[in-house]
């Protein structure tokens, strides 16, 4: 065997371009460096990101806050439930508090129509309408899950309670007070909120008997006159 042939058979020489790390022959494109793995937010077009990503994260957040409370809930847990990276949760919402705020806002959405209902009905019907709207939200399993997440977190964590108070006041109570033509309107609507939030806490969170298992119509019959008295009495 010639020395030239032996040299051509040696690993790493130009005669063996398929060897890893060996440059390509002149005129042939090289394989190029292996792309580095990108950390943080997934690249655009990732399977994790799409039109429903934000809503999936919100759904997961409600579940996380409802089951674990604000203190024990985590961005990683929310991301895991939504099937995304934690970085994507931060991208859409920011901090855990901001995720919670978004979850509270979406949970309150059905109640935002209540102030408009004040204008649409006679003053003598307000108590019944408000109690009906309250139970409509809490008796529906879909919206009940959202409200449980909010209430449980607000009861156990001051930061979550502050978010709850702010959104309850700005988006519901103060707007409702603005359309009531009565003295002390803000105090009146806050007393209504105290009555209804207290009922929700006993019936759906603490599950204290007999309130927890009392027939819905019975509770409605008892609560409506109390709410009416707070508003117009």
| Contact of 60 with 105, CB cutoff 8 Å | no
Domain boundaries in the chain? 53-95, 107-232
Give tens-digit pLDDT for 66-84. 888 889 999 999 999 999 9
Q: What is the DSSP string of 136-192?
A: HHHHSHHHHHHHHHHHHHHHH-HHHHHHHHHHHIIIIIHHHHHT--STTHHHHHHHH
Which class in CATH covers the domain with range 107-232? mainly alpha
- CA-CA distances (angstroms) from residue 203 to 73, 101, 142, 146, 196? 24, 24, 17, 15, 10
| Contact of 48 with 83, CB cutoff 8 Å | yes
Residues in the chain: 233
Closest-CA residue to 125 (of 224, 26, 35): 224
pTM of the model: 0.66
pLDDT tens for each residue of the chain, 233 residues long: 444 444 444 444 444 444 444 444 444 444 444 433 334 445 444 445 666 899 999 999 989 988 888 899 999 999 999 999 999 999 999 999 999 889 888 777 776 666 666 666 667 788 888 888 888 888 888 778 878 888 888 888 898 898 888 878 877 788 778 878 889 999 998 999 999 999 999 999 999 999 999 999 999 999 999 999 998 88
Q: What is the DSSP letter of 42?
A: P
Q: How far apart are CA 214 and CA 218, in angstroms?
A: 7
Q: What is the DSSP string of 10-36?
A: STTSTT-TTSTTPPPPTTSPP--PPPP
Pick the CATH number of 53-95 from 3.30.1490.20, 3.40.50.2300, 3.30.930.10, 1.10.10.60: 1.10.10.60
Q: Could you count the other beta carbons within 10 Å of the beta carbon of residue 130?
A: 26
């Amino acid at each position: 065997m010639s020395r030239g042939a032996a040299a051509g058979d040696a690993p790493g020489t130009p005669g063996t371009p398929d060897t890893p790390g060996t440059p390509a022959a002149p005129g042939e494109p090289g394989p190029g460096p292996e792309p580095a793995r990108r950390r943080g937010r997934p690249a655009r077009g990732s399977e994790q990101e799409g039109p429903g990503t934000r809503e999936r994260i919100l759904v997961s957040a409600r579940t996380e806050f409802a089951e674990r409370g604000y203190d024990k809930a985590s961005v990683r847990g929310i991301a895991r439930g939504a099937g995304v990276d934690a970085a994507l949760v931060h991208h859409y919402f920011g901090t855990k508090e901001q995720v919670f705020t978004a979850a509270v806002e979406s949970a309150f959405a059905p109640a935002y129509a209540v102030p408009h209902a004040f204008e649409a009905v006679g003053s003598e019907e307000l108590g019944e309408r408000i109690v009906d709207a309250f139970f409509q939200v809490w008796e529906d399993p879909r919206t009940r899950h959202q409200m449980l997440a909010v209430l449980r977190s607000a009861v156990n964590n001051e930061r979550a309670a502050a978010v709850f108070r702010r959104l309850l006041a700005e988006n519901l109570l103060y707007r409702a007070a603005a359309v009531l033509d009565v003295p002390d309107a803000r105090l009146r609507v806050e007393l209504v909120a105290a009555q209804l939030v207290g009922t929700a806490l006993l019936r759906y969170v603490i599950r204290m008997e007999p309130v927890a298992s009392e027939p819905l119509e019975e509770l409605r019959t008892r609560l409506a006159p109390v709410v009416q008295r707070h508003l117009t009495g």
